[in-house]
Amino acid sequence: MSTIETLKKDFEHYRAQADNSAFTQQRESAFVELQKLGIPTIKHEEWKYTNLKFINELHFQSSCLHTEAAKNYYTQNIVQTLKANRLVFINGSFEATLTQIEPEDAAIVITNLAAARIAHADMFSKHFGKYAIIEGQALNAMNHALMSDGAFIYVPEGKQTVYPIIITNISDASEVNVLNQPRNLIVVEKNAAATVIESFFALGNHASFCNIVNELYVGENASLEHYKLQRLQGEHYQNNYTQVFQEGNTHINQVTLTLDGKFVRNNLHFYMNGENCNTLLYGLYLLDGNQFVDNHTRVEHAKPNCFSDEKYKGILKDKSTAVFNGKIMVHLDAQKTNAYQRNQNILLSDEATVNTKPQLEIFADDVKCTHGATVGQLDEEPMFYMRSRGIPENVARKLLLNAFADDIAEKIKIPELVAILEEQIEKKI
């Protein structure tokens, strides 16, 4: 059965048991949208370099079933030294036994989405489905119609997380090709502050496809540290959509680290709905083999006096491919916008490819915006300079690549995360 037929069957199955609430109706219209759009092809401008044909070819099954190995894998791979609140999802289903909540963070709601829909119905209905765009977005529609469980984080007004919240999603493809569609909702209320890490693993010799949608709401004068850590060794595919909705005076520091991935497409969108926002978004991808990573970002300045700084860097080996598409949109109203964007890539092989496209769309007339992209090899001059001091070529290369990556590493405020990154750099370069 093709993946699409499976999805149809799954939806019919879901529809037969669902109530007639607004929630169900929303999902129903999302499914209609998915059927109308179909899976995008490379003829679609937004998917020009990113081929989704694997979705149909690989006959994924949306099964929550998973092996004991996945739990063990998780226990072996979490950073034990980092004290944190933890939520774990395996193939989209909530693993309550692996939940950890620190007593100091008792004021924060840290739970799974399915539970929150009932226990925190007001907050849920106020924010759920309000930010992620369904119209014209086939994969978002697919997630909305057939979502599995996910995380629900609610930081009440004036509160802040004492320890980071780590949401781990594991794709377990030990038995069949699996599709999972986690759905997260993170709400940081007025004057609150939170640190959230999304961590992705995959295991098993079959293929997996994780199609995740994140909605984040950051209230007036609140701040958010948000990290994404993607480690997907093997035949694992991911489409990761994140929509951040910011009120005025918010501060966001977002870092996306793609350290592995057969196929990763990140869609990261910020909408600044108030003045004096500070939005920092950084990314680093380290690719080898035939890995493919696509970062699509969209930073929307809707109100005046906001600042955004974006920097994505990549190191590519072997036959790997990276795509970067960064869009900064400055609305007519958004005077005195300061927006910066850079994408820098180092190719360590003749067969690696980068397609980069920085874009500015500016409708206001009093703004400062810059963007730029570079694709190149390691410079000869610094290499020779180092060698002429007795440093061998491979060590010199490592020093230079570490220096290149450090630029992003220094944006990470959690030393344990930096250590993971450094370890991966050491291993891959």
**Binding residues for other proteins, per CB under 8 A?**
381-382, 384-393, 395, 399-400, 402-404, 406-407
Shortest separation between residue 228's beta carbon and other proteins, angstroms:
23
The CB-of-268 to other proteins minimum distance in angstroms stands at 25
Shortest distance (Å) from residue 398 CB to other proteins? 9
Q: State which residue, 114 or 399, has the beta carbon closest to other proteins.
A: 399
Q: Which of 192, 112, 195, 127 is nearest to 156 (CA)?
A: 192
Quote the least distance from Cβ 139 to other proteins, whole Å: 37
- Taking each helix axis from N to C terminus, what angle separates 393-409 and 415-428, rounded to the nearest 10 degrees? 150
Instruction: Dig out the tokens for 184 from the structure.
Output: 């997260």
> What pairs with residue 143 in β-bridges?
none
Place of tokens 């069949």: 176
Q: Are 146 and 10 in contact (CB under 8 A)?
A: yes
In the complex with other proteins, the residue whose CB is nearer, 361 or 426, is 426
Instruction: Centre a 10 Å sphere on the Cβ of residue 390 and count the other Cβ atoms it contains.
Output: 7
Give the nearer residue to other proteins in terms of CB position, either 176 or 399. 399
Q: Pick between residue 251 and residue 342 the one whose CB is nearest to other proteins.
A: 342
Shortest Å distance, C-beta 79 to other proteins: 25
Supply the minimum distance, in Å, between the C-beta of residue 350 and other proteins. Answer: 19
Q: Which is nearer to other proteins, 271 or 312 (CB)?
A: 312
CA distance 269 to 290: 27
- For other proteins, the closer CB: 123 or 405: 405
What is the DSSP secondary-structure string of 163-206? S-EEEEEEEE-SSS-EEE--EEEEEE-TT-EEEEEEEEEEESSS
In terms of CB distance, is 10 or 407 closer to other proteins? 407
Cβ-count burial of 402 within 10 angstroms (0-12 exposed, 13-18 middle, 19+ buried)?
middle
Question: Considering beta carbons, is residue 265 or 342 the nearer one to other proteins?
Answer: 342
The least distance separating other proteins from the CB of residue 252, rounded to whole angstroms, comes to 25
Q: Which of these, 86, 65, 91, lies nearest to 75 by C-alpha position? A: 86
3-state class (DSSP) for residue 218:
strand
Shortest distance in whole angstroms from residue 337 CB to other proteins: 28
3-class secondary structure per residue, 24-84: HHHHHHHHHHHHHHCCCCCCCHHHCCCCCCHHHHCCCECCCCCCHHHHHHHHHHCCCCCCC
Q: Which is nearer to other proteins, 43 or 389 (CB)?
A: 389
Output phi, psi for 269, to 5 deg.
-120, 135
Residues in CB range of 122: below 8 A, 6 or more apart: none
Q: How far is the CB of 117 from other proteins (least distance, A)?
A: 47
| Distance between CA atoms of residues 255 and 200, nearest Å | 14
Residue 274 CA to residue 335 CA, distance in Å, equals 12
Taking the least distance from each CB to other proteins, the nearer of 79 and 400 is 400
Give min distance, CB of 395 to other proteins, in A.
6
**What is the rounded CA–CA span in Å between residue 48 and residue 377?**
25
